[in-house]
């Protein structure tokens, strides 16, 4: 959603972007041209939605309230286009009241299986529910076992990665990726994407195609460069410091954790010690998630409680990490205490990764800004 937003803004449009979850402040979820809704406007819109709740006949959920607030604010702000990120799966998500011109499915991972079912096919059936009969369906997912489900989506047009568009190059570069993309309308060579991980090169291709389908023409090179130059994703493999290297990543499922570990170990040269600060929710399997993060490859693992009643106790994570063979494991109740312990022993050649939960990352970012400063 961030790449699509920046590419649309580079065309001179006023863009409303709705994402979830937030890291530090709820205002982050709704943006106008990259700037969050201010507190007064947010409060005004929440009160307006609250007045309508009796008409619904039931208590509306937190996410439904925020979705309604965002849509009302976008309407009052006279945006040109909305970029709406699904909250949970798709078909029954509050955002799915939208009749989108372009529906985008980047990939399918085994997340939220308690709501959809245990397989990728179950997830696919829910996610494809956002596609409407008048939508252009841009599909980044290439798994063979879900293609039949995705192909059955009732859309005006289906644009599929590796069939209608492809990533020609996706190389590691200083500060991000160097990507070449072929779309149905153009070939875009050596685009710099200032995000880390091979998957972000793939995401860039999908975003470019989505915007080209929205406009029904190729994107010019000047607009592409301008849009991509300012893309950032706070809390998503975000580099917050150098010497020592400090990275935060909200990876909270096995698929995301595997990607996080791959980028951390393969794309960054670390001559010193590697330190992991980790916390997670009770809904996650600690052994699976720590395994995906390659916790046993770190020199020090510092466990903490995620700052929510749904967090797994740090002491429990510590036991799992020790059973996995992690040599040096520490445990703290608070995120700030875990970070303070982990950071104070770092040298310039060392690296710190904070991962396992967006709750942990959201709490860690302001603490790290203070420590690093």
pLDDT one digit per residue (tens) for the chain, 373 residues = 999 999 999 999 999 999 999 999 999 999 999 999 999 999 999 999 999 999 988 999 999 999 999 999 999 999 999 999 998 888 899 999 999 999 999 987 766 666 667 788 888 999 999 999 999 999 999 999 999 999 999 999 999 999 999 999 999 999 999 999 999 999 999 999 999 999 999 999 999 999 999 999 999 999 999 999 999 999 999 999 999 999 999 998 998 999 999 999 999 999 999 999 999 999 899 999 999 999 999 999 999 999 999 999 999 999 999 999 999 999 999 999 999 999 998 999 999 999 999 999 999 999 999 999 7
Handedness of CA 230, 86, 182, 196 (dihedral sign): positive
Percent of the chain with pLDDT over 70: 98
State the pLDDT at residue 41: 98
Q: Using an 8 Å Cβ cutoff, are 42 and 70 in contact?
A: no
Same structural domain for residues 183 and 260? Answer: no
Domain of 312, CATH number, reads 3.90.190.20
Check whether residue 131 and residue 181 sit in a common domain.
Answer: yes
> Do 148 and 62 fall within a single domain?
yes
Q: Based on the domain organization, do 332 and 295 belong to the same domain?
A: yes
- pTM of the predicted model, to two decimals? 0.93
Say yes or no: 212 and 278 in one domain.
no
Q: Where does a domain end: 179, 207, 229?
A: 229
pLDDT reported for residue 116: 65
| Residue 172 vs residues 88, 91, 198, 279: alpha-carbon distances, Å | 31, 36, 8, 29
Residue 311's pLDDT is 94
Pairwise CA distance, residues 263 & 237, whole Å = 9
* Final residue in a domain of this structure, among 175, 208, 229: 229
> What is the reported pLDDT for 90?
83
Residue 367's domain comprises 238-372
Residues 6+ apart with CB under 8 A from 15: 5, 8, 9, 32, 33, 34, 79, 80, 81, 82, 83
3-state secondary structure of 21: coil
Boundary-marking domain end, from 190, 212, 229: 229
Residues 247 and 222 in one domain: no
Residues 242 and 219 in one domain: no
**Closest among 224, 358, 173, 182 to 278, alpha carbons compared:** 358
Q: How many domains does the chain have?
A: 2
> b/e per residue, 180-189, with b = 16+ CB within 10 A?
bbbbebbebe
Q: What is the pLDDT of residues 88-125, one digit of tens each?
A: 888 899 999 999 999 999 987 766 666 667 788 888 99
Residue 330's pLDDT is what? Answer: 98
Q: Are 201 and 126 in the same domain?
A: yes
Compute how many other C-beta atoms are within 10 angstroms of the C-beta atom of residue 60: 16
Q: What share of the chain is helix, strand, coil (3-state, %, to 5)?
A: 45, 20, 35
* 163 and 221, same domain (yes or no): yes
**Same domain, yes or no, for 165 and 292?**
no
| Helix pair 221-229, 2-10: axis angle to 10 deg | 130
* DSSP assignment letter at 130: G
What is the C-alpha end-to-end distance of the chain, expressed in Å? Answer: 30
Q: What is the CATH number of the domain that holds 102?
A: 3.40.1190.10
Contact (Cβ atoms closer than 8 angstroms) between residue 116 and residue 89: yes
Same domain, 69 and 200: yes
Q: Which parts of the chain are beta strand (E)?
A: 15-18, 30-32, 35-36, 81-84, 102-105, 136-139, 157-160, 166-173, 176-182, 187-193, 238-241, 245-248, 274-278, 300-304, 329-332, 351-355
Residues 60 and 190 in one domain: yes
């Amino acid at each position: 959603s961030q790449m699509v937003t920046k590419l649309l803004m580079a065309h001179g449009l006023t863009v409303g972007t709705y994402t979830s979850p937030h890291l530090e402040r709820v205002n982050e979820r709704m943006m106008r041209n990259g700037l969050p809704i201010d507190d007064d406007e947010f409060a005004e819109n929440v009160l307006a939605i609250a007045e309508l709740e009796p008409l619904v006949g039931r208590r509306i959920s937190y996410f439904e309230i925020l979705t309604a607030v965002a849509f009302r604010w976008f309407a009052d702000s006279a945006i040109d286009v909305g970029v709406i990120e699904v909250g949970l799966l798709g078909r029954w998500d509050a955002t799915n009241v939208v009749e989108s011109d372009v529906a985008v499915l980047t990939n399918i991972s085994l997340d939220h299986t308690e709501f959809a079912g245990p397989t990728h096919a179950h997830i696919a059936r829910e996610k494809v529910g956002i596609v409407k009969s008048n939508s252009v369906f841009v599909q980044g997912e290439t798994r063979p076992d879900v293609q039949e489900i995705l192909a059955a989506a009732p859309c005006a047009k289906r644009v599929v990665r590796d069939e209608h568009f492809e990533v020609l190059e996706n190389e590691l570069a200083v500060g991000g990726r160097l990507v070449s993309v072929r779309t149905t309308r153009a070939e875009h060579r050596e685009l710099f994407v200032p995000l880390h991980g091979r998957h972000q090169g793939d995401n860039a291709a999908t975003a470019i195609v989505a915007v080209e389908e929205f406009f029904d023409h190729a994107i010019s090179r000047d607009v592409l460069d301008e849009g991509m130059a300012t893309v950032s994703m706070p809390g998503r493999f975000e580099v917050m410091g150098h010497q020592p290297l400090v990275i935060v990543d909200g990876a909270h499922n096995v698929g995301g954790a595997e990607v996080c570990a791959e980028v951390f170990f393969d794309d960054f040269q670390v001559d010193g010690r590697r330190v992991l600060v980790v916390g997670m929710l009770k809904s996650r399997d600690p052994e699976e998630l720590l395994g995906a993060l390659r916790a046993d490859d770190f020199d020090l693992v510092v466990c903490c409680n995620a700052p929510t009643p749904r967090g797994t106790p740090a002491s429990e994570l510590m036991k799992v990490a020790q059973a996995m063979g992690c040599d040096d494991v520490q445990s703290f109740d608070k995120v700030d205490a875990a970070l303070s312990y982990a950071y104070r022993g770092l040298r310039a050649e060392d690296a710190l990764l904070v991962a396992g939960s967006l709750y942990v990352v959201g709490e860690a970012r302001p603490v790290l800004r203070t420590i690093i400063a």
